[in-house]
């Protein structure tokens, strides 16, 4: 049960909450806020890991393509008698 105290001031009722209850609500809110922030951080970290994996795969693909192009260049140069080799 909520502990409240009340007083009439100039015809209006003022209700004050128990400070212990307010402290508990504040702590619960802080915990929930921290949990939400932790979840958001975890989601961002997961997104970044996935993005990093995609970039690594693209980089490996590019490296293989470059190696293939260099190999093809060497073969063509050897077929042309090394005239255009650099």
Q: For residue 50, what is the DSSP state?
A: H
Residue 85 lies in a domain: no
pLDDT value, residue 4: 52
Residue 38 lies in a domain: yes
Range of the domain at 47: 4-79
Residue 74 lies in a domain: yes
Q: Read off the pTM.
A: 0.54
Count: domains in the chain: 1
State CA 86 to chain mean position distance.
Answer: 46
pLDDT digits (tens, 9 = 90+) for 40-71: 999 999 999 999 999 999 999 999 999 999 99
CA distance 6 to 18: 11
Residue 84 lies in a domain: no
pLDDT digits (tens, 9 = 90+) for 5-19: 555 556 666 656 566
Residue 65 lies in a domain: yes
**pLDDT higher than 70, residue 2:** no
Residue 66 lies in a domain: yes
């Amino acid at each position: 049960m909520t502990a409240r105290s009340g007083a009439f001031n100039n015809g209006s009722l003022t209700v004050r909450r128990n400070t212990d209850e307010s402290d508990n609500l504040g702590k619960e809110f802080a915990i929930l806020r921290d949990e939400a922030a932790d979840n958001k951080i975890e989601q961002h970290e997961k997104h970044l890991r996935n993005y990093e994996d995609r970039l690594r795969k693209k980089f490996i693909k590019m490296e293989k393509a470059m190696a293939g192009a260099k190999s093809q260049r060497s073969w063509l140069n050897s077929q042309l008698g090394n005239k255009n080799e650099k």
